Structure formats: C-alpha cells, structure tokens
Amino acid sequence: MALVEKDEKNSPNIPTLEENHYYIFSSDFDNSSCSDAMSFIIARNLMLGKSRPKCIKMIINSPGGSVPAAFALIDTIKGSKIPVYTYGMGEIASCGLLTFMAGAKGKRFITPNTAILSHQFSWGSMGKEHELMASVREFENTSARIVAHYKKCTGQTEATIKKYLLPPEDVWLTPKEAIKYGLADEIVDFY
C-alpha cells in the first residue's frame, strides 16, 4: 500500500498516512511538536470498534530537543492501550532516541542508514544561587529519569548504560550497535 497524502482530484482511492495510523515526527522536540504527536496517539485510543487501529506507527527523524517535552510524549506512548511501533529513519538523536526506544518491545524498527546519537543530558542555567541550586537538583532528577528509561527500554545495567551509551562524550551508533544494546529490535529497509 502506498503511503502518500490523498489527492482528491487525481487519486481518491490512495489511502492517507492518517487513515493508516502513521505519524511522521520529523522535527525538533518541543512542546508544540510533542503535543501534536500526543494528540494523534490519544485520538486513536479514543476510537471505538472496528475503527480503532491494532497499532500506531510513528516514524521518527529528529536531531532531538526538549527533554521534558520528549518525556510527555514518551509517557503518552507508554500509556497508550494501542501499541506504538517506532521506526527510526535518517537521524534519531538525543530525544529522538529516547522516544524511539519507548516504542512497543519487539516493534522498534530502524533503517540501515539511520544515524543514532546517545548522550548525557545537557543544560544551561543562569540566576541567583538558590535558583541555580534548584536547577542542579532538577538536572540530577532528569539525568536519573534518563538512566531509568534506558534501563527499562534496553534491559542493560546502569553500569553498562553509563559506560557505553551515556558516557561523558557523545556516542554515535550504527543500527547493528543499537540492536546490540537493546535500543532497537530490527533493521528494516522501510516500514
């Protein structure tokens, strides 16, 4: 089945991405882009009967972005009663990887030419001393959430995660390495 947008005049019988429950996330992670994806998932969960899909397919191509926005989307994916299959294409970096690996276990697909970036949480802050101390606490909490997410999604130990996936430097992985570390389940040519 072709996955193209419907052109009412020329091809009324070609199904749309939306009709087939595909969502393409190809942008930075921010509140707006994540809200759109969350709405897509929630809307499908509200469907009844035969119109309710068996799965949702999310294609991710992203350089990353806001960790809090990504975790809102991750919580939506994990809370979905309909399994969300994830497809990594192009680049899944930082928040893109966090979200990709939240897909249904066994249904996290990656294409052969996908660039994969895993790295520690980074941030910047300015303000008064007490404000900076509060920011440091939130930084530590967010870093702990990221490690816990990696553990849950990969099955790796915290020591392995910190050594190979979240060391001080950025880690670029091949699709085969992503499978080795439990970040992805299968390399596919396409969806």
**Structural tokens at position 127:** 């303000």
Exposed e or buried b per residue across 105-135, where buried means at least 16 C-beta atoms within 10 angstroms of its C-beta = eeebbbbeebbbbbbbbeeeeeeeeeeeeee
Active site includes 119?
A: yes
Query: Taking the alpha carbons of 34, 61, 182, 173 in that order, is the dihedral positive or negative?
Result: negative
Q: What is the DSSP string of 18-70?
A: GGGTEEEE-S-B-HHHHHHHHHHHHHHHT--GGGS-S-EEEEEEE--B-HHHH
Q: Are 110 and 87 in contact (CB under 8 A)?
A: yes
Of the residues 21, 33, 62, 94, only one is catalytic, namely: 94
Of the residues 33, 118, 119, 149, only one is catalytic, namely: 119
Task: Pick the closest to residue 109 from 172, 191, 182 (CA basis).
Answer: 191
Q: Which residues does the annotation mark as catalytic?
A: 94, 119
